[in-house]
Homo-oligomer: A and B are copies of this chain.
């Protein structure tokens, strides 16, 4: 089972969510309309909406309610991307010009703010305070994580724990609450909601670890940017951290890291990490999270969406793009 088959089965619902997204960001403010639509058209996996919808089946499934939650989470994801592009000084994402490149940092900042506010608009109708608390709390943690990431830039002294904490906030949290909010919006019971969160959290951790692996192992064509971009930008991820401490080339790498000519040696450093044991170790780590995600799933009722979530976790572990 490939992800594309899962999407095919959910095609009608995902199309509805695309419409919801488009409705949400439409504004008569010309520039904002263009910048937000530019972002929308750049596409994406819409994996957060998929998680919301599938999780909704573990309660009283109501598509009209869930589609708002699903669109809200995708918009929050999009808003963080626009702001991240400012930080990363990124000109391209998914092969398209970023908002900050096509317009400028100022427009990108307010486009992010705007998309974020529109996301909030979508969930105002929910009266359950836990829905609002879950979302706001996640956003607070995500912001803390973004600042952590800036602080950890070019920091080769960071621990595995620091890395894990960072990717939790960067990626896993939003996926975890996508599952949780799908459950909450469907009035699923507390235990179910907690397991959905656990599934989402672990899948999200694996998702980011695999992303960090692919940044080293992928081709420029697959990635839409040169391999090793994370490292080049100073974002030290787990394959590099492992290589630094445990690979056969660790001493060489340690010398290079301390060198004053870091940027000039970058190609060689990327190459060392790529060929190092750091890749396999990271794959195993991702696999550990996938197993935990599956364990959480197995404690949920055996409906057909459980199988779909299982397939998604397998896809995430094995994906090559």
Give A contacts to B, CB under 8 Å.
27, 29-32, 83, 86-87, 105-107, 109-114, 116-118, 120-121, 123-129, 132-133, 135-137, 139-140, 142-144, 146-148, 150-151
Within 8 Å by CB of A144, from B27, B112, B121, lies B27
Within 8 Å by CB of A124, from B32, B109, B114, B133, lies B133
A121 partner residues in chain B, CB cutoff 8 A: 133, 136-137, 140
A148 partner residues in chain B, CB cutoff 8 A: 29
Q: Which residue of B lies closest to A86 (CB)?
A: B109
A117 partner residues in chain B, CB cutoff 8 A: 136, 139-140, 142-143
Copies of this polypeptide in the complex: 2
With known contacts A86-B109, A150-B106, A127–B129 Cβ distance under 8 A? yes
| Least CB distance, A127 to chain B, in whole angstroms | 5
Q: Which residue of B lies closest to A128 (CB)?
A: B127
Q: How far is the CA of A27 from the CA of B143 in the complex (A)?
A: 11
Q: Are B129 and A126 in contact (CB under 8 A)?
A: yes
A86 partner residues in chain B, CB cutoff 8 A: 105-106, 109
Q: How far is the CA of A83 from the CA of B125 in the complex (A)?
A: 28
User: Which 10 residue pairs spanning A and B have beta carbons closest together?
Assistant: A114-B143, A124-B132, A117-B139, A120-B136, A124-B133, A29-B144, A121-B136, A117-B140, A110-B146, A113-B143
With known contacts A31-B147, A133-B121, A147-B107, A114–B127 Cβ distance under 8 A? no
Q: Are A32 and B114 in contact (CB under 8 A)?
A: no
